Amino acid sequence: MIYALIMAGGSGTRFWPESRKSRPKQFLNIAGPKSMIRLTVERIATEIPVGRIMVISGASHADEIRNELPELNPEMIVAEPWSRNTAPCVALAAYKLRKADPDAVMAVLPADHTIGKEEAFLDALRHGADAVSRGDYLLTFGVVPNRPETGYGYIRIGKVAFSVGPDKVHKVDAFVEKPDLETARLYLASGNYLWNSGMFMWKASDIIRAIDRRLPRLGAAMKSIASALNTIEEADALRGVYQSLESISIDYGIMERADNVVCIPIDVDWNDVGSWAAVVELWPADKTGNVTRGQTLFLDSRNCVVSSNHRLATLIGVEDLIVVDTPDALMVCHKDRAQDVKRLQEVLAEQGYEDLL
């Protein structure tokens, strides 16, 4: 059967000051009237029943997930005692699912992305499940790019390995870091490069085999607590091993090194909502390109992003600014510096503003 792992451990640092440690991006209503994590669950629930959806988050957010998603099986809401990036998260889910169902197929999805073409995405999930059932494959979904984007990593696809319905399943030649603009233009023109969506699918047994081979210390740690998983002893067992685990992503630890990685290209109106600049694709724009949420007034201003939910925000004679106003903090930056909001939080911590993080 197909299960879903929704990874909800992110801190959402680039969405400060709305995103805080106590309420990161996945709990915000950035893409509409519902939280990002709720939209993610509702998107897949027609294909993967809620009883087979697992959410893994940090311990400090587990209760909020239970409140936000009361329809989920409480045993499928799992709290990591320490944040250790995505590889330990995936390993934990794989061991838990394989123990419950030796034939489990896992879709691995971030909690805080948006997808406009939901039916096309569900089709891709079905075809992905079919693909990984044919052999020992680690499958990633690569987004067909529609512009030369410098903010995403890329996947260079190779020959077609086989087809599943209308979808071609390609061998993956390489994962490529974020390019400069000229290189991104070459990628777009070649047709052989896709955006790395961070969404995956595989059999639980196959990713465990890959972890044992590529990340043996992580595999050994999971094996040492396997008997406690899915029991009342699980939380104590996790605390016993998690702090010593290496913090490493599934991309770097497994996908970039494995030799059985395949990819299905998808065109699903995907957005990773990676910074405030990304909301220009999610919020309606006025005739001068301003996108807003809350009370705003513009005078001779264009192409700005403004979020101000508690008072009127006015902008005069400016362009390409991001303005986020909250009751206790105001953030203003140029659109080109949206990624630097993460750096800003480091400065805030150094300057003694931990209470605002």
Is residue 289 located within the same domain as residue 255? no
Range of the domain at 149: 2-271
Both 163 and 220 in a single domain? yes
Q: Please check whether residues 147 and 251 belong to one and the same domain.
A: yes
Residues 185 and 334 in one domain: no
The tens digit of pLDDT for each residue in 235-279 reads 999 999 999 999 999 999 999 999 999 999 999 999 999 999 999
C-alpha span between 298 and 304 (Å, rounded): 9
Give 132-186 pLDDT, tens digit per residue: 999 999 999 999 999 999 989 999 999 999 999 899 999 999 999 999 999 999 9
Length of the chain: 357
Tell me which of 271, 297, 328 is where a domain ends.
Answer: 271
CA distance 119 to 199: 16
Are 260 and 161 in contact, with CB atoms under 8 Å apart? no
pLDDT at residue 10 above 90?
Answer: no
Clarify whether residues 211 and 344 are in a common domain: no
Residues 96 and 181 in one domain: yes
State the average pLDDT over residues 312-338: 96
Are residues 148 and 49 located together in one domain of the fold?
A: yes
Q: Could you report the per-residue pLDDT of 179-206, keeping only the tens digit for each?
A: 999 999 999 999 999 999 999 999 999 9
The helix, strand and coil proportions of the chain, stated in percent and rounded to the nearest 5, come to: 40, 30, 30
Report which residue type is found at 301. Answer: S
17: preceding bond cis by omega (within 30 degrees) = yes
Q: Does residue 302 share a domain with residue 254?
A: no
**Among 271, 304, 336, residue at a domain's last position:** 271
Q: Say what the pLDDT of residue 101 is.
A: 98
Domain end, chosen from 271, 302, 327, is at 271
| Shared-domain flag, residues 130 and 147 | yes
77-114 pLDDT, tens digit per residue, is 999 999 999 999 999 999 999 999 999 999 999 999 99
Question: Are residues 17 and 152 located together in one domain of the fold?
Answer: yes
CATH number, position 82: 3.90.550.10
Where do we find the tokens 């005692």? 81
Contact 2, 132 (CB under 8 A): no
| Residue 165 shares a structural domain with residue 281 | no
Tokens of 197: 């969506």
Residues 78 and 180 in one domain: yes
Share of the chain above pLDDT 70, in %: 100
Neighbour tally for 122: CB within 10 Å: 17
What's the total number of domains in the chain? 2
* pLDDT of the residue at 310: 87
Separation between Cα atoms, residue 191 and residue 187, nearest integer Å: 7
Q: How many CB atoms lie within 10 A of CB 288?
A: 12
